[in-house]
């Protein structure tokens, strides 16, 4: 596992310890709308569901976009046809902020995925309290027991879980633990290199009743059409959208590409 990722996880464990000591805060989380159907939103027949991500920075890319009001961005995503929104909430490494989530939830009608490094059940409760409709669970950083417990916690609260895998072993473990939405991350966690073939190799191994989401490295409509033919049902795209001078236009491009099969509308 890449040393940078190990650094992030060490910091996240410290955050979890602090959260356990102070408890889940509720300030600013009053009157958050009820849970929305993330799974249904990203699995509409005959098209790729676009999960558009609000992401200002990453350890691999540095600053992606100068800080902009997340609500403004989220509303652009919705108007341009995105199926759901992913909000990065890690502060130190991704310049995110969990406190943006309640306001974003109130300002859009799309389901919202909280994207962070979830290691403990208290973070699931925190996500629910702040208005998340789904959370990301990264199989590689969790033991089998942790993954099963976190999936069970999500089910109990009504949250969807996007369970991220990177190879066959991850996929096998995720399926054995009951994951229903499988996110295939095209980024290698050791080298941080990106290869869309990761999705194309793993997607056929996912049972039909599950939803396959491709993550990382998706740049344009051509990529989406290739992934669609490979059995992918949804894509999570952040950097290429957030870097664009025309955020709404880029989202529309990706959404439109996901409605086309073999060059036909």
Give the position of tokens 């950097």.
Answer: 239
Q: Are 67 and 56 contacting, i.e. CB atoms less than 8 angstroms apart?
A: yes
Which of 43, 86, 127, 185 does the annotation list as catalytic? 185
Which of 105, 164, 199, 239 does the annotation list as catalytic? 164
Fold assignment, 3-20+39-257: TIM Barrel (3.20.20)
Q: Is 219 a catalytic residue?
A: no
Q: Which residue has the higher pLDDT, 28 or 112?
A: 112
Which of 127, 199, 216, 239 does the annotation list as catalytic? 216
Q: Report the pLDDT value the prediction gives residue 68, as an integer from 0 to 100.
A: 83
Q: What CA–CA distance (Å, rounded) separates 102 from 129?
A: 9
pTM metric for this prediction: 0.95
At residue 157's C-alpha, the angle toward residues 172 and 206, to 5°, is 20
Which of 115, 126, 186, 253 does the annotation list as catalytic? 115
Q: pLDDT tens, 184-220? A: 999 998 888 999 999 999 999 999 999 999 999 999 9
Q: Are 205 and 171 contacting, i.e. CB atoms less than 8 angstroms apart?
A: yes
* Banded pLDDT at 262 (limits 50, 70, 90): very low
* Banded pLDDT at 25 (limits 50, 70, 90): confident
Q: Is 115 a catalytic residue?
A: yes
Q: Is 176 a catalytic residue?
A: no
Q: Is 264 a catalytic residue?
A: no
Tell me the three-class secondary structure of 174-240, residue by residue.
Answer: HHHCCCCEEEEECECCCCCCECCHHHHHHHHHCCCCCEEEEECCCCCHHHHHHHHHCCCCEEEECHH
Kindly list the domain boundaries of the chain, sorted by start residue.
3-20+39-257
Which of 43, 215, 239, 250 does the annotation list as catalytic? 215
């Amino acid at each position: 596992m890449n040393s940078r990722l190990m650094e992030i996880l060490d910091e996240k464990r410290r955050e979890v310890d602090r959260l356990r000591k102070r408890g889940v805060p509720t300030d600013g989380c009053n009157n958050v709308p009820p849970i929305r159907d993330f799974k249904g939103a990203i699995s509409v027949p005959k098209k790729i569901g676009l999960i558009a991500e609000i992401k200002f920075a990453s350890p691999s890319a540095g600053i992606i976009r100068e800080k902009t009001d997340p609500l403004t961005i989220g509303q652009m995503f919705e108007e341009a046809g995105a199926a759901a929104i992913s909000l990065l909430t890690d502060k130190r490494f991704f310049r995110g902020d969990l406190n943006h989530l309640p306001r974003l939830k109130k300002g859009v009608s799309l389901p919202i995925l909280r994207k962070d490094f979830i290691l403990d059940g208290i973070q699931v409760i925190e996500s629910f309290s702040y208005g998340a409709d789904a959370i990301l669970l990264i199989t590689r950083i969790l033991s089998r027991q942790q993954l099963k417990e976190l999936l069970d916690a999500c089910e109990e609260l009504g949250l969807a879980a996007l369970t991220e895998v990177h190879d066959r072993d991850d996929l096998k473990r995720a399926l054995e633990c009951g994951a229903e939405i499988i996110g295939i991350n095209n980024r290698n966690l050791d080298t941080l290199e990106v290869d869309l073939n990761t999705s194309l190799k793993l997607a056929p191994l996912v049972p039909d009743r599950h939803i396959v989401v491709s993550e990382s490295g998706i740049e344009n409509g051509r990529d989406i059409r290739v992934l669609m033919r490979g059995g992918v049902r949804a894509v999570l795209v952040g950097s290429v959208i957030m870097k664009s001078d025309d955020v709404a236009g880029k989202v529309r491009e990706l959404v439109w590409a996901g409605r086309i099969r073999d060059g036909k509308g």
